[in-house]
Structure 1
Amino acid sequence: MVTSSQKQALEQQVEACYQLAECFFDRPFQRPTIQYNQRGKIAGSAHLQKHLLKFNPVLYQENQTCFLVDVVPHEVSHLLVYQLHGASAAPHGREWQFIMTQVMKRPARRTHQFDISSVAGKTFLYHCQCQQHQLSIRRHNKVKKGTQYLCTQCKTSLQEVKP
């Protein structure tokens, strides 16, 4: 789904992020493996112990410029934090925020704002005492196995709305 030129552009952006970090920290960093098989609503993910970056091909296709400018530095920053500080650093903690703002020169946003309608899966309707909620199939299946979710507003348990 991702063309070779799109892969090349993303991989060049990963390399550019690493070069920024190497200049800033005055040290070399190991380059990661890159895969284009992230699914669902997630734009990208960094697998720290595997030294792997996974990117969502659908969201990349639909948001190429923003993806390269924001998602790639976001995920590379996770791997850099792990190489510099180990597993003790919080995923979006001050070390990650520092790399995003000072090294990558990007805002330290935790989530993307892409339209996810093309990748959103089936949802299930639930309710609490104050409103209705849309749960993903993953959360719906967890409820079926006994997990309870509480409304963040009224703190009551979510109940499935039966069709």
Structure 2
Amino acid sequence: MPEQLHARVETCYQQAEAFFQRRFARPEVSLRLRGQKAGVAHLHDNLLRFNAQLYAENREHFLRQTVPHEVAHLVAHQMFGGGIRPHGEEWQAIMRGVYGLPPSRCHSYAITPRRSTRYLYRCDCEDQAFPFTAQRHALVARGRRYFCRRCRATLVYTGQQRVE
């Protein structure tokens, strides 16, 4: 865990504790998030997951905005319970009042698309291939069947793959 990220999480909690005059349980913090999200707060597990790649590429803004954004979700959950909306008025009030930040819902970090493997399937009537994701390909291996919409034949794996 990078020290700056961990220190920023702690600072956010100290700010919330000073503001609300109460103690908050510290979360587990992980840098094992991938994909397009910069961070995720798991409310019931008291867990914060951050995207290591986006953190490395956008460190300053990430520490200033993304970390408080996710901490605010956990603080709002502990203060107001599970019946609140994720980016509702309680969360927005914490972002403005505790952290002095705009309650922005989404980041604008440049996302580098990950390369993904597609598994090519065919039917009886089409000359074109149907690219399946790894997840769908695994479902076929476990017995699930997919059908061509035109001829209703079962799509069959060609043994070919392509990387996109």
Q: Structure 2 length normalisation: TM-score?
A: 0.70
Structure 1 residues 88-144: Cα deviation after superposition (integer angstroms, max 9, x where no partner): 010000000000011011110000010012x4566xxxxxxxxxxxxxx79x99xxx
SS at match of 2:49: strand
Task: State how 1:50-129 maps to structure 2 within 5 Å.
Answer: 50-117=45-112, 119-120=113-114
Q: Distance in 2 between matches of 1:120 and 1:62?
A: 15
Describe the SS at the equivalent of 2:96: helix
| Matches of 1:86 and 1:26, distance apart in 2 | 17
What is the letter of the counterpart of residue 110 of structure 1?
Answer: R
Say if 1:41 and 1:120, in contact at 8 Å, map to a contact too: no
Q: Does 1:22 align with 2:27?
A: no
Percentage of identical aligned residues: 44
Q: Which runs of 5+ in 1 are unaligned?
A: 123-136, 146-163
Q: Partners in 1 of 2:70 and 2:36 — Cα distance?
A: 15
In structure 2, stretches of 5+ residues that fail to align are 117-132, 138-145, 147-164
Maintained 8 Å contact 1:40/1:121:
no
SS at match of 1:37: strand
RMSD: 2.5
Per-residue CA deviation, residues 58-89 of structure 1 (Å, 9 max, x unaligned), is 00010000000000000000000100011101
Displaced runs of 4 or more, over 6 A: none
Q: For residues 90 and 114 of structure 2, what CA distance do their matches in structure 1 show?
A: 31
1:79 partner amino acid = L
- Aligned letter for 1:81? A
- The higher radius of gyration belongs to 2
Question: Is the Cα–Cα contact under 8 Å of residues 43 and 59 in structure 1 kept in the other structure?
Answer: yes
Count of equivalent residues = 125
- In structure 2, relative to structure 1, the CA distance for the partners of 1:121 and 1:24 (3 Å cut) is farther
Separation of aligned partners in 2, 1:102 and 1:120: 37
Contact 1:51 1:79 in 2 (8 A): yes
